[in-house]
Amino acid sequence: MATKSLLKRNNELANANRQLEILSNGIFADGELPTFKDKITQTGQFPLRPRKLEILQINVGYMCNQVCEHCHVDAGPDRKEIMTVETMKQCLEVIKNTGAHTLDLTGGAPEMNPNFRWFVEEASKAGIKDFIVRSNLTIIRANKKYYDLPEFFKKHNVHVVSSMPHWTRGKTDKQRGDGVFDKSIKALQELNAVGYGMPDSDLRLDLVYNPSGAFLPGDQMALEADFKKGLMEDFGISFHNLFAITNLPISRFLDYLIASENYEDYMYALVEAYNPSAVQNVMCTNTISVSWDGWLYDCDFNQMLDLKVASKVKHISEYNEEVIRNRDIIISQHCYGCTAGAGSSCQGTVA
Amino acid sequence: MSKSYYDPADLRKFGKITEWSEELGTSFFDYYGKVFQEGALSAREKSLIALAVSHVVKCPYCIDAYTKDGLQRGITKEEMMEAVHAGAAIEAGASLVHGVQMMNKYEKLSM
């Protein structure tokens, strides 16, 4: 398993333009498969336009204690892109005035940003309805200075959303690294101990499931039932909901697909599973993604492909919700990942 | 023409059989879809049965399809292998149970 990011390895897929070229070449260039634009045009959904903003997703940095095989951020310990206090202050101004009901902090491991706690404390004062932190779980056990994170999250009524690829050790460690499963289990037990994820608790703990390989996620409810049974029987762990998220063919997952000769079959599977009703609710229609350096994107995936919003307003410093809403969403073939089957978003299925 | 009887890429063309006989093709796929829905058996249980049968009928397309289907459903490799053994055991048993016929015949023909 790689321990360095694509960027650190000087892999060509660290380059967003190279990824976009691959996604437009081959089977999409010769017409074997329709481009995403053609497909949504056929179902009368081009151009894709935003609806009312509901979710403000802020990426506070690409640094992470893990180097997961499928990571679309290409995050890892060697990534130095970290949101500054100045950009955080610009974000706080937006958080105070936004019409969005959900604030979603992500990374990397957001907790590794040195100003993470200050930012959470300040952001929680804005009284936003649902305040999510995407925590990878192992960070809670990575170092003594993080041991009190469950209490910290509880104090600020943070909604914790954590990744867990399987309820068994083998599949989890294969995707996320040796020892990740045991540390994740311990972290989940600690979150449960302070009240997170318990059946009647208001302290929300949801899990994210990404397939550990070149296949699409199965039915979210069936997987949730299996996860709940497996984690409760073996470890006494409770959680609220499972979000099944499709791996999009970008960054490290694209690298994996190409290296394992699964790329074409995977793209076929995504295109075959295209669901027009998922397009209606795809997350870029209700989300704005903010990068560590304050740029605005239609979604976290477009952020990683460096496709900034097609709007006069492109940066958090000049944020204007009305102006940003009046834009076309930028699409490419990776978008098939969010419209396959029951659809996929950072909040799970959409159709 | 391919020089091989089996091409993995043919699996994704399976739906095309409808082009040469729409009524029968559509009937088959409707039936197939209904068979694998949740019922008295869960879709997960049916997926494992399909995997076992795929091995018994030695269909490489079916093995590819139901290994992937199992992965999508979170079925573990231990469960998949047990299903394959269940199929293989029935197949071995089907051969071996004929040993009784052999024994009967042997006894009948022997003094």
User: What does the DSSP assignment read for chain B?
Assistant: --SSS--GGGGGGGGGHHHH-HHHHHHHHHHHHHHTSSSSS-HHHHHHHHHHHHHHTT-HHHHHHHHHHHHHTT--HHHHHHHHHHHHHHHHHHHHTHHHHHHHHHHHH--
| 3-state SS, residue A317 | helix
What are the tens digits of pLDDT across the range A237-274?
999 999 999 999 999 999 999 999 999 999 999 999 99
> Looking at the partner chain, which of B12, B43, B71 has a beta carbon nearest the beta carbon of A268?
B12
Helices and strands (H and E) in chain A: how many: 14, 8
The domain locations on chain B are 44-111
Query: How many C-beta atoms surround the C-beta of residue A239 within 10 A?
Result: 24
**Structural contact between residues B48 and B79, judged by C-beta atoms closer than 8 angstroms:** yes
CA angle, A137 as apex, A181 and B74 as ends, to 5°?
50
| Residues in chain A closer than 8 A to B76 (CB atoms) | 168, 171
Instruction: Show Cβ contacts of residue A295 under 8 Å, excluding neighbours closer than 6 positions.
Output: A303, A308, A314, A315, A316
Token pair, residue B87, equals 């199929």
Q: Is residue B1 predicted with pLDDT exceeding 70?
A: no
Count Cα neighbours of A275 within 13 Å in the Cβ-side half-sphere: 16
Cα–Cα distance for residue pair A208/A242, rounded to 1 Å: 6
Cα–Cα distance for residue pair A71/A266, rounded to 1 Å: 17
Instruction: Please give the pLDDT value at position A3.
Output: 87
| Mean pLDDT over each residue of chain A, to the nearest integer | 95
Instruction: Please give the pLDDT value at position A1.
Output: 65
Provide DSSP, A207-248.
EEE--SSSS----HHHHHHHHHHHHHHHH----S-EEE-PPP
Q: Is residue A316 predicted with pLDDT exceeding 80?
A: yes
Nearest chain A residue to B42 by CA: give it: A222
What are the tens digits of pLDDT across the range B28-58?
999 999 999 999 999 999 999 999 999 999 9
Instruction: Please give the pLDDT value at position A169.
Output: 86
Indicate the pLDDT class of residue A313, thresholds 50, 70 and 90: very high
Token pair, residue B76, equals 């573990």
Instruction: Please give the pLDDT value at position A134.
Output: 98
Query: Percent of chain A beyond pLDDT 90?
Result: 93
- Nearest CA to A78 out of A133, A14, A141, A135 is that of A14
Asked whether the beta carbons of residue B73 and residue A166 sit closer than 8 angstroms, the reply is no
Please give, rounded to a whole number of angstroms, the shortest distance from the CA of A292 to a CA of chain B. 33
Dihedral angle, C-alpha A198, A110, A297, A39, nearest 10 °: -50
Query: How many C-beta atoms surround the C-beta of residue A335 within 10 A?
Result: 26
Sketch out chain A's domains with CATH numbers: 12-338 (3.20.20)
- Say which CATH topology domain B44-111 has: AhpD-like (1.20.1290)
Provide DSSP, A13-37.
GGSHHHHHHHHHSGGGTSSSS--HH
Please give, rounded to a whole number of angstroms, the shortest distance from the CA of A127 to a CA of chain B. 38
Instruction: Please give the pLDDT value at position A199.
Output: 95
- Is A226 in CB contact (< 8 Å) with chain B? yes
Question: A27 to each of A33, A38, A330, A331, how far by Cα in Å?
Answer: 6, 14, 21, 17
**Structural contact between residues A294 and A308, judged by C-beta atoms closer than 8 angstroms:** no
Cα–Cα distance for residue pair A304/A282, rounded to 1 Å: 18
Best of A166, A219, A223, A263 to mutate (most B CBs within 10 Å, chain B) = A219
Give the DSSP H/E element, type plus range, for residue A119. helix A116-124
Please give, rounded to a whole number of angstroms, the shortest distance from the CA of B57 to a CA of chain A. 24
What are the tens digits of pLDDT across the range A5-40?
999 999 999 999 999 999 999 999 999 999 999 999
> Looking at the partner chain, which of B12, B68, B74 has a beta carbon nearest the beta carbon of A223?
B74
Question: A338 to each of A50, B40, B80, how far by Cα in Å?
Answer: 15, 32, 29
Asked whether the beta carbons of residue A222 and residue B44 sit closer than 8 angstroms, the reply is yes
Cα–Cα distance for residue pair A309/A324, rounded to 1 Å: 8
Chain A to chain B, count of Cβ pairs less than 8 Å apart?
29
Indicate the pLDDT class of residue B85, thresholds 50, 70 and 90: very high
Cα–Cα distance for residue pair B47/B97, rounded to 1 Å: 28
Token pair, residue A75, equals 């995050």
Nearest chain A residue to B74 by CA: give it: A223
